[in-house]
Amino acid sequence: MMCQMEVSRRILLALGLVLALATPTVLGQDAAASTQALEQVEVHLAKGAFGRAMASASRIEPEAARARQETLILYNARSYDAALDRALVAIDGGQGDELLLLNAVRASIWILDTEAAVHCQGLLEERLEVMTNGGAANLAWWTDQIVVLSDWVDGMVEQDAATDAVVGRARATTFGVFGVAVSVLFAVGFVSSRRS
Amino acid sequence: MALPRATTLLTASALSGGAVMAIELSAVRLLAPWFGTSQSVWSNVIGVVMLGLSLGYLLGGRASRSSEPSRALIFLLGAGAVFTACLPFAAGPVAELFLPDQLRLDSAAEVFRWGSLATSVCLFLPASILLGGVGPLVAELISREGDLRAGEAGGRMLFASTVGSLVGVFSTSHWAIPSIGIRATVLTAASILLVASLLVRLATPGGGRKETVTALLLLVGALGAMVLPRSMPQLPEGFVLLEERESPYQYTRLVEDQRTEPYMRSLQVNEGTDSYQSVWQPELGLLDGDYYYNDFVLPAWWQRKKGTWRCLTIGMGAGTAKRVMAGAMPEGLILDYTGIELDPVVVEMAEKWCDLASDDATHLLSGLDGRAALGLIEGRMDHILVDAYANQVEIPPHLATVEFFDSIEALLEPAGWCQVNVSGFSTSDPMVAAIASTVSAAFEAPVLILRVPGARNCSVFARRDSRPPIPTAENWIDPTFPESIAALLGGREVRGQWDWVEVSHPKGVVLTDDLAPVELLQQRSLQEARHSLLGASRNVDA
């Protein structure tokens, strides 16, 4: 099944290349439209017109760039769960770049979704390694961001662990005290029946 | 000195029954500052006390076989008194064992359920077991004393005990807790148990003086302990306690956040989490931050009315809605405000600390239930706000039903607004969806749900014989709106920030007076908030 999927993906990729070579004009128009849409997104974002920014973003190609922009818009509109949802769909489709991952981690911190935060933070750190090896620009800025986010995510993990520990302690105490009470009562009953 | 034994024993049984009820009713309120007073906390406390009593019946039954059951009775009453007297001081340290340092609302349900159960078991099980043993011993002693049959002795004991319980219920709820507070109520119960122990001791011939002196010393100790402070949750650094009060409904405190200027005050009831019921800032108008109260000004701006804006708030709290609206009304529109608040203590504290006062344009209905008080409202309203909560996060079921919203609609002017603040984590949250669907069914009109950015609240809007605005519409942010109102609406038009419920397509359960499973929906809301996005992230791993 996996082999068939891999073959299909290669065929699609090859078809895509053939199409790209065969229709440069159409693709060029698409690229221009996409660039224009991207510019419009920036303008709308600057004005705080998030609905219009989303409408413009829907015309951005390819999907990875669209996902990045939509996540960014939703994050800036403070619709954090929608931003994370959008980012996770993109990540699920193998589309996540560093900017999308950054906003995904930030959004998951806002809505206190520890599991999503840990997952996206892990992917972001992997991405940083790739960027480091590739000698990407702004490496210091990205490293700083990841350190800051990492502190937040670690705090969330610790808080969740503390909560789980407290619930575990409460369960153990409940059953423990109940068990001791019943045992003591039976012991008292047993001793007094022996005496009588 | 020997008292008449049968009468003394029945009196002891009645005193014990009353004390048990006082402990049971105070128990939930003792735990409230840490775990709230939700249905699950009530169930846990009652369950633990019943478990303790049932084990105590076994214990007492076994002890009644001894040659001197009166000694066992004196011990059980005395020991029960000692355990009871410890409750106000042990509640805090024990409860804090079962609470993390920081508790988020989305984790609260499980922590409160298990934490309150474990705390109840530690605090209330020993005293309940001891006091459960009182009944069988009294029955045995009466039976031996008057040569009565077991049934007759048991009947007399149960009569005395139940009458005592009855007095305990009414005096605790209606007098003791609101008048003398939780600590004094519990210590009074302990003192009553010591008195019962002492009476039995005095009615028992041949007893030593040592036990009498011990009981008297304990009694003095319990009465003296009433002046000691009750253990309470610590406030975070930078917060100052302005006032705390017990009311018939809840533990209430007013705190001031002095970390940043301007100082903000918040009213908290039974708070075990980071939530609040009302906030106050020195200036009138929109609050600085992500507060759902700011949404309360929107209908006045959308309506474009001149003259008077008659607004009724059900669940006024400390009057935050009034202060926000009063400072952010459109030009030419004057606010005429009526607020209904169930708890008079909240209103008294708001008058003292939050500048709440009655005047020609501010009408305060204190001590009235929101639904019952609707019948007292004269004339029609432009805007009815429903912001009523009980037990921290629970909407009272009778203020969430189709029948209730029918009454609301009948009080509105044509095209008037109903706005409900619902605690929920998204527009598809089970509680939010249920309230929106219920309002839609009552108004037979579409309903707008707006998420409050950065908060755990959604605003639900409906209009009488009309429709709320749609966020995707071109005129969602009217260019004539001031910057502050435009900023309030900005960003609300994107996915996840709003939803629309049509009558024909309810998105949740429609709540009725007959069936309003609010507690269940609230639990699902908290659970889904914790797990809603985990599925998506797990797919990535797969």
pLDDT tens-digit series, residues B23-56? 999 998 888 888 877 788 889 999 999 999 999 9
Helix (H) or strand (E) segment spanning residue B419: strand B412-423
Six token digits for residue A62: 């390819």
The two three-digit tokens of residue B342, written as one number = 């169930």
Residues in A touching B496 (Cβ below 8 Å)? 74, 79, 81-83, 85
* Residue of chain B whose alpha carbon sits nearest to that of A82: B496
Measured between CB atoms, which of B100, B126, B533 is closest to A84? B533
Q: pLDDT tens digit string along A57-91? A: 988 888 889 999 999 999 998 888 889 999 999 99
Which CATH architecture does the domain made up of B289-531 adopt? Answer: 3-Layer(aba) Sandwich (3.40)
The domain locations on chain B are 5-227, 289-531
Pairing outcome for strands B307-314 and B333-341: parallel
Please tell me the predicted confidence (pLDDT) of residue A19. 35
Closest CA to B70 of B145, B178, B176, B153: B145
Which chain A residues contact residue B106 at CB under 8 A?
Answer: 112
Give the span between the Cα atoms of B196 and B73, in whole angstroms: 10
Which stretches in chain B have pLDDT values below 50? 1, 532-542
What is residue A191's predicted lDDT score, i.e. its pLDDT? 72
Q: Residue B494's closest chain A neighbor by CA?
A: A51
Q: How far is A150 from chain B (nearest CA, A)?
A: 18
C-beta separation of B146 from B4 below 8 A: no
Specify the pTM. Answer: 0.76
Residue A21 pLDDT grade (very low, low, confident, very high; cuts 50, 70, 90): very low
Alpha carbon distance B273, B34 (integer Å):
8
Q: What is the mean pLDDT of chain B?
A: 87
Query: d(Cα A105, Cα A153) in Å, to the nearest integer?
Result: 8
Write down all domains in chain A, each with its CATH number in brackets: 2-163 (1.25.40.10)
Gap from A4 CA to chain B (nearest CA, Å): 18
Q: Which residues of A touch B110 (CB under 8 A)?
A: 163, 167
Cross-chain Cβ contact B494/A81 below 8 Å: no
* Record: contact A116-B534, CB cut-off 8 A: yes
Nearest to A181 among B55, B101, B496 (CB): B55
Chain B: residue nearest A119 by CA?
B537
ipTM for the complex shown: 0.70
Closest partner residue to B497 among A79, A166, A167, by Cβ?
Answer: A79
How confident is the model at residue B541, as a pLDDT? Answer: 27
**Chain A residue with the nearest C-alpha to that of B129:** A181
For A92, which residue in chain B has the nearest alpha carbon? B540
Q: Could you tell me the fold of the domain covering B5-227?
A: Growth Hormone; Chain: A; (1.20.1250)
Name which of B62, B100, B115 is nearest A162 (Cβ-Cβ). B100
Model pLDDT for residues B246-291, shown as the tens digit of each residue: 887 888 889 999 888 888 999 988 755 566 789 999 999 999 888 9
With beta carbons less than 8 A apart as the criterion, state whether A60 and A66 touch: yes
Distance from CA of A171 to the nearest CA of B (A): 6
Specify the DSSP class assigned to residue B316: -
- pLDDT at position B354 is 94
Residues of B whose CB is below 8 A from A165: 100
Say which of A76, A83, A166 has its CB closest to residue B115. A166
Residue B113's nearest CA partner among B93, B96, B98, B91 is B98
Q: Give the confidence band of A33 by pLDDT, cuts at 50, 70, 90.
A: confident
Q: Which residues contact B435 (CB under 8 A, 6 or more apart)?
A: B395, B400, B420, B422, B460, B508, B511
The pLDDT value recorded for residue B274 is: 60
| Residue A179, min C-alpha distance to chain B (Å) | 11
